[in-house]
Amino acid sequence: MKLFSKEQIYEADRLTIERQNISSADLMERAGTQLFNWMHARMQGAQVPVHVFCGIGNNGGDGLVLARHLTTHGYHVKTYIVNYSDKRSKDFLINYDRIKSVTKDWPVLLTDDESFPEINPKDIIVDAVFGIGLNRPVVAWVVALFDHFRASKAFTLSVDVPSGLYLDKAPEHTNNVVSASFTLSFAAPKLAFFLPQTAQHTVQWDVLDIGFDQEYLSSVDTEAELIAKHEVLFLFKPRTKFSHKGQFGHSLIIGGSYGKIGAVTLACKGALSAGSGLVTAYIPKCGYTALQASLPEAMVITDTDKNCISNINVAMQPSVVGLGVGMGTDSKTLKAFEAFLKENKSPLVLDADGLNMLAQHTALLKMLPAQTVLTPHPKELERLIGVWKDDFDKLEKVKAFAHTYNVIVVIKGAHTITISNNKLYVNTTGNPGLATAGSGDVLTGIITGLISQGYAPLEATVFGVYLHGKAADIAVGKYGYQSLLASHVIDYLGAAYLDLFKKPDSQDREQEKEGS
C-alpha cells in the first residue's frame, strides 16, 4: 500500500474534484459520511455522549459533517468549534451553516478564555481539530485542550490524523498531539503512524476510502510503501517438481567468536529454513563441535584461530555471504574483514559486528559490493550515520547514506524500514516477542538464504523482513511475547511461507486493515 505525502493527498483531492466533476464540499460530505458510517456500524444508535471538537479548516469541516449525521440519526452529540484562527475554510463554513439547520443545539465556540466542557470517561471524543494542514506549533490553550482530552480518559477518535501530528517532522513535544485511541485516516495511513517517536499517538488506525481518483492513486509514485502480504506475494519464487539443491545456492555465514557461536548457528539455521540449498559456516575453531552438533545440516569451516576470526580463507565461491553475527571486533578480525572485502565477489549481507567494524573504519564502506544489505539495530545505525534529530531526520540521513554507498539499509525496529534507492519499505509484521536475543541473527540468515536462492538483494530484504515478522506473529500464538525465542522464529518460518497462500478469513482482513 502506498503511503502518500501531504502534497500528494492535496493533489488527489484537487484531481478528484476535477475529474469526477464534484465540488470540494461534496468530497467533504463523502469524508464525513464515511466517518459517520464507521461510527454508526459500531455504535448502533447507543446513547453515549459524543463530543465532536472541530477546528476551522477542512479537518473541522469533516467533523461538522459527521456531527450533522450523528445528530440527524438521533445520537447524543455535542459539537464544539476550536477557534484557534479566524481564517475559516470555505467548506468549513458551508458545513457550519448546514449543521445549524439540523439542530438548535448550535456548536459551542471554544476560545482561550473559555473553560473546557466536562468529558466523562465513558463519553466519546471526536478529534477533528487539525488534519494534514498543521504547519506550525499548536498554541498553548489548544495543547491544554488536548491535555483535557487525555485527562478525561474517554475513547478518542481522531479524524485523518491525531491533531497536532505533522506528516513530515516530529512534534515539538509529545503533549502537543492528541493521544488517539483510534484514527480514521483518509485513503491511506500516514508514515508517521509507523515511526517509533510518532506511532504512539494512535493506538490503532483504519483507512477510509473516500473515492479519490483511482488513476492518480495507482499511477503516482510514493516515496514510502507499506509492506503486507499483498506486496510480498508476487516476490515468492515457487519450486518445481524437479528442483534440486544446486538451484538454491550456497550461503556462507561468517562470524562467531568465543562464547558467541550460537549467533552463527541461528543465522545458518535461518538461511537453511529460508530455503538456501547449502549452508557453510566459517567460524573460529572453538565453535566446531557446538555448531556441528546443533545443526547437522550445515557444513563448517574453521579459522586457524581458536577464539576469533583471523583470516577468512574459503576455497569455494558462495552465492552470498552473511557476515558479522557474534564476530567481535578484534584487530585480527578487522584485518581479516578488510582482506575479505578486497577479494570478495559475492553479494553480501552485513550485520552486528560487521556493521560495527564499518562504523569504526568508514574507508571499508567504499569496498562493499553494490547493493550490500546492512541490517543495523538502532544503536548500530547510530554508529554508522551519527545521531539524528528525529525519526524523519533519521530517514533522510539513511537515504543519503544508502545512496552514497549504493547499499540497502534495514532500519530494524517494531516497524522495520528498508531503505534503498530513496524508497522506504515499511514492514507490517512482527511483534514485541522479537525483542529477544538472537532474533536479528535469524533475520540475517533469512535474508542471506533468500539471496542464495536467486532473490535480488532488495527483494530478499523486503520479503525476508516480512517473513521473519510473520513467523514471529504466528509463533507468538503459542509462546506469548515473553517466552518467544529466536529459535522459535525459525521453527515457524515454514508456517509464514504457508500463510502467504492461506485464504484470508474475515478476522485476518480486519487485522490487516486495522493497524494494531
Ligand X SMILES: NC(=O)C1=CN([C@@H]2O[C@H](COP(=O)(O)OP(=O)(O)OC[C@H]3O[C@@H](n4cnc5c(N)ncnc54)[C@H](OP(=O)(O)O)[C@@H]3O)[C@@H](O)[C@H]2O)[C@@H](O)CC1
Residues that bind K ion (CB under 5 A): 127, 158-159, 163
First to last CA, the chain: 16
430 marked as part of a ligand binding site: no
Q: Which is nearer to ligand ADP, 161 or 434 (CB)?
A: 434
Minimum distance from CB of 117 to K ion (Å)? Answer: 18
Rounded to an integer, what distance in angstroms lies between the CA atom of residue 64 and that of residue 463? 43
Considering Cα of 211, then 214, then 218, then 221, what sign does the dihedral take?
A: negative
Mention every residue, 6+ apart, whose C-beta is less than 8 A from residue 234: none
Among 377, 382, 479, 485, binds ligand ADP (CB under 6 A): 377
Q: Which amino acid is at 421?
A: N
Q: Is 164 annotated as ligand-binding?
A: no
430 scored as a contact of ligand ADP (CB under 6 A): yes
Task: Please report how the helices 352-360 and 378-385 are oriented relative to each other, as an axis angle in degrees rounded to 10.
Answer: 20
Nearest distance from C-beta of residue 28 to ligand X, angstroms: 4
Per-residue contact flags (x/-) with ligand X for residues 22 to 61, judged by CB under 6 A: -----xx--x-----------------------x-xxxxx
DSSP state of 515: B
Beta carbon of residue 461, minimum distance to ligand ADP (angstroms, whole number): 11
Q: Is 441 annotated as ligand-binding?
A: yes
In 3D space, the residue among 369, 448, 378, 446 whose CA is nearest the CA of residue 410 turns out to be 378
Going through 73-189 in order, the beta strands assigned E by DSSP cover 77-82, 108-110, 124-128, 155-159, 180-186
Is 284 a residue that touches ligand ADP (CB under 6 A)?
Answer: no
- Asked whether residue 322 is marked as a ligand-binding residue, the answer is no
458, 420 Cβ separation under 8 angstroms: yes
Would you count residue 461 as binding ligand ADP (CB under 6 A)?
Answer: no
Stretch that binds ligand ADP, among 276-284, 295-303, 401-409, 428-436 (CB under 6 A): 428-436
φ/ψ bin of 250: left (φ > 0), alpha (ψ from -120 to 50), beta (otherwise)? beta
Q: What are phi and psi of 52, to 5 degrees?
A: -100, 115
Q: Does 435 bind ligand ADP (CB under 6 A)?
A: yes
Per-residue DSSP letter, 408: E
Is 440 marked as binding a ligand?
A: yes
Classify 114 as helix, strand or coil: coil
Which residue's CB is nearer to ligand ADP, number 63 or number 376?
376
Of these partners, ligand X, K ion, ligand ADP, none, which one is at the site of residue 443 (CB under 5 to 8 Å by kind)? ligand ADP
Q: Is 175 annotated as a binding residue?
A: no
Q: How far is the CB of 126 from ligand X (least distance, A)?
A: 12
Among 35, 443, 450, 484, binds ligand ADP (CB under 6 A): 443
Using alpha carbons, select from 429, 508, 410 the residue that is nearest to residue 476: 429
Among the listed ranges 254-262, 292-300, 424-432, 502-510, the one in contact with ligand ADP (CB under 6 A) is 424-432
Nearest by Cα to 274 from 7, 421, 20, 489: 489
Give least dist CB 505 to ligand ADP, A.
Answer: 23
The secondary structure of 193-242 as a DSSP string is GGSTTTGGGEEEEEEE-----HHHHHHSPPSEEEE-HHHHHTT--PPPTT
Out of 57, 413, 445, 457, which residue is the one contacting ligand ADP (CB under 6 A)? 413
- Angle, in degrees to the nearest 10, between helices 331-343 and 352-360: 90
366 binds ligand X (CB under 6 A): no
272 touches ligand X by CB under 6 A: no
Q: Which residues bind ligand X (CB under 6 A)?
A: 9-10, 12-13, 27-28, 31, 55, 57-62, 84-85, 87, 89, 130-139, 159-160, 186, 210
Q: Which residues carry a binding-site annotation? A: 58-62, 127, 131-137, 160, 163, 263, 326, 377, 412-416, 440-441
Residues that bind ligand ADP (CB under 6 A): 377, 412-414, 416, 430-432, 434-435, 437-441, 443
